[in-house]
Chains A and B, each alone.
Chain A
């Protein structure tokens, strides 16, 4: 393995898995531009394209985390710049409440992030991805999957007192 930005593995060997939902017009384009500009950033993000950040159903975020994502990154157009006029505001409203719900549940707030990244801001895209990867790497795995419980010693169940 080369010692590129790709592979700065922390001591514990933990590599965060981040699921991203990027809007087609701004953040997805920024990621395309980062590509054409040959910028290098952490390989920990998996982008799912939606037309607008307003399409992001909180269920998607919860589903990704339930399946083991260590973080979820939402990317939309800057306020006032939404290709669909105001979908990003809807995303913002949902995100603010969802983030509160998640932090109330005890999930680190750094694990869910909404960023406005315009089609021109490839550098910002790179920085956000690198920063979020770093933050989550230092937080460690999200460990949100519910463990199968087993009692060490199966207890004989009886409704009556055994004699």
Chain B
């Protein structure tokens, strides 16, 4: 292709350029004098036609371009409208339909970069004119190009085995695609596995999740990797390679049958280590299974607590009882493996807000104060108390206060609304009331029950006798007289008075935050984070599960706080996007690769070491670029000291012309 490019059209011919200035309704025309812009464009060298039109991206708008190409023999098109991120593809397709190479096109961003960000019509119009002039000068140098087609590897990597990852993996696997499901905890299941009931339908979380977890385990198309993390990914859409770290479990997964006898016979009669799954509300032994329904049904050893690891002198009753199965291996080490995939779904979930960051609520200091997730475990039949709601002192609560928006909607912690807390607070109110008949006080700022059946659920809980108090709790402090109770102090904004309510138990409705290592994940996968730290979707409305990295999709709470139904919907959408990619079989890539002009290259090798994708080779005294590996950043082009590397769509000439264009009026 490169030689064809060089001999093809350049700026020296007599181009026939058409310029189209879009009003975008009034989005552009309210701030930019589109008629003046059209007139300026009309007089630029090479321009044979300049029009302004209400909506260039509309079908009639596109038709105008196509007709003009055919009737006037236009061979270069400039459209001044919105960001190329939005409609570059639209116009390229239209131009191709009109019979022109789609890359004989340049888009000018006069909406996002001009009309929407300036108020003064004169200044905004001047800017638009400069940008249009730059595009007109540049487009003369465009060469005919072809999109690169790359095949899509049908295998998919799903990162994070919560409900989002599980649902995506199953959807893809059911469609016959191979899925690698990577989970860093010893079991898949995520937060949902910790819940008791789900709002607003109150169906048991385990009852709906466990079958899906089992399906994952049994599915021939899914390979589950627990205690594993993706540490590196390279390649590009359709052709990624992921390096995965496997932490040692000290158990041979294939040999363990999940009989759990080793746990019974462990030399520790009782657990001594706070149980992570129960948030420390119970203790576990050094050899354990995270929770009864864990997938895989395989125990693991925590070397911190294990006598054998600490002293090397344990009786190893576990090894004894495992006998010929011989599944215990104290010598296991961290290992790495690599998988090749075509697309990735990131479903790394969330982290619950750490309530210790708001000391006024006493979490970690006052015994009666619990987080919502802890209470989920308390009310759960397989939890530390087998579903009994008993406080740390062994008593049952008679009065319970629930405080909303802990770590949400608060400029000192997180500005965002965590979306699920109002509803799960109501759910916990219902469950606690059902189990203890305690008096319950919900302290809320606003009751947000937007969702199917949500408002109805709130009304039901209210009818059950839960007291709703609108007001933010200022402080939780011990009741005078050593009663063991605490007092919630809040201004009741309905009554307009400060209320002090002594309770036996406080539940903090902690919010949803990005995972602590979201930043690392973001870097590994080369995606971006929004201001709050959640991963950024490609477009908030139109590409809600895509990212700016092609072939990498988002599902679940890693993108933004959401409840289970929304998470599952998004997981399905992400799987569908991946399937669409896979079923197309190939993807077209922007032909913006760089190439070395062989006869110009001196073989100085400056470029070779600069390419982050090892796309530049050196052979027989010349550098050459592997077009498949080149991602089109252009770093080598800028560095080439003899100007012998060019980048399609971003040639030196084209950029210099843009500079002339924007500066022409100075």
Mark A residues whose CB is within 8 Å of B: 1-2, 4-7, 17, 19, 25-26, 29, 31-32, 34-36, 38-41, 43, 46-52, 54-60, 63-64, 67-69, 80-81, 83-87, 90, 94, 118-121, 126
Complex partner residue of B548 from A25, A87, A94, CB under 8 angstroms: A25
| Min distance, Cβ A128 to any Cβ of chain B, angstroms | 13
Chain A residue nearest to B634 (CB atoms) is: A55
| Min distance, Cβ B237 to any Cβ of chain A, angstroms | 13
| Min distance, Cβ B88 to any Cβ of chain A, angstroms | 11
Mark B residues whose CB is within 8 Å of A: 83-85, 109, 111-114, 116-120, 122-124, 126-127, 130-131, 134, 522-523, 526, 528-531, 536, 548-549, 592, 610, 612-613, 631-635, 637-639, 647, 650, 652, 655-656, 658-660, 662-663, 666
Q: Which residues of A contact B660 (CB under 8 A)?
A: 67
Q: Which residues of A contact B123 (CB under 8 A)?
A: 6-7, 43
| Min distance, Cβ A144 to any Cβ of chain B, angstroms | 11
List 9 A–B pairs whose Cβ atoms lie within 8 Å, in order of A's numbering: A6-B119, A40-B118, A47-B131, A48-B655, A55-B650, A64-B663, A84-B633, A87-B634, A90-B638
A67:B633 contact, CB within 8 angstroms: no
Q: Which residues of B contact A46 (CB under 8 A)?
A: 127, 130-131, 134, 662
Given A32-B85, A43-B126, A55-B650, A86 and B116 touching (CB < 8 A)?
Answer: no
Given contacts A4-B118, A86-B612, 5 further A-B contacts (CB under 8 A): A32-B85, A32-B112, A52-B635, A63-B656, A83-B526
Q: Which 3 A-B pairs have the closest CB atoms?
A: A35-B112, A55-B634, A54-B635
Given A32-B113, A43-B126, A84-B635, A49 and B647 touching (CB < 8 A)?
Answer: no
Complex partner residue of B633 from A34, A59, A81, A87, CB under 8 angstroms: A87
| Min distance, Cβ B656 to any Cβ of chain A, angstroms | 6
Complex partner residue of B113 from A6, A17, A47, CB under 8 angstroms: A47
- In the assembled complex, the Cα of A84 lies from the Cα of B658 at a distance in Å of 24
**Residue from A46, A51, A69, A121 with most neighbouring chain B CB atoms (10 Å):** A46
| Min distance, Cβ A39 to any Cβ of chain B, angstroms | 6
A50:B634 contact, CB within 8 angstroms: yes
Q: Which residues of A contact B655 (CB under 8 A)?
A: 48, 50, 57, 60
| Min distance, Cβ A106 to any Cβ of chain B, angstroms | 21
A4:B116 contact, CB within 8 angstroms: no
A52:B633 contact, CB within 8 angstroms: yes
| Min distance, Cβ A36 to any Cβ of chain B, angstroms | 6
B633:A6 contact, CB within 8 angstroms: no
Chain A residue nearest to B532 (CB atoms) is: A120
Q: Which residues of A contact B131 (CB under 8 A)?
A: 46-47
A35:B116 contact, CB within 8 angstroms: yes
Given A32-B85, A67-B659, A40 and B635 touching (CB < 8 A)?
Answer: no
B119:A60 contact, CB within 8 angstroms: no
A35:B662 contact, CB within 8 angstroms: no
Complex partner residue of B117 from A40, A63, A69, A87, CB under 8 angstroms: A40
Q: Which residues of A contact B118 (CB under 8 A)?
A: 4, 6, 40-41, 43
Given A34-B117, A119-B528, A90 and B124 touching (CB < 8 A)?
Answer: no
Complex partner residue of A120 from B122, B126, B528, CB under 8 angstroms: B528
Q: Which residues of B contact A80 (CB under 8 A)?
A: 523
Q: Which residues of B contact A119 (CB under 8 A)?
A: 528, 536, 548
- In the assembled complex, the Cα of A120 lies from the Cα of B528 at a distance in Å of 8
Complex partner residue of B635 from A2, A48, A87, A121, CB under 8 angstroms: A87
Complex partner residue of A6 from B124, B610, B638, CB under 8 angstroms: B124
Q: Which residues of A contact B637 (CB under 8 A)?
A: 55, 57
Given A38-B116, A118-B528, A120-B531, A48 and B662 touching (CB < 8 A)?
Answer: yes
- In the assembled complex, the Cα of A23 lies from the Cα of B154 at a distance in Å of 31
Complex partner residue of A51 from B124, B633, B656, CB under 8 angstroms: B633
Q: Which residues of A contact B613 (CB under 8 A)?
A: 84-85
- In the assembled complex, the Cα of A35 lies from the Cα of B24 at a distance in Å of 14
| Min distance, Cβ A137 to any Cβ of chain B, angstroms | 14
| Min distance, Cβ A141 to any Cβ of chain B, angstroms | 10
Complex partner residue of A29 from B85, B522, B635, B650, CB under 8 angstroms: B85
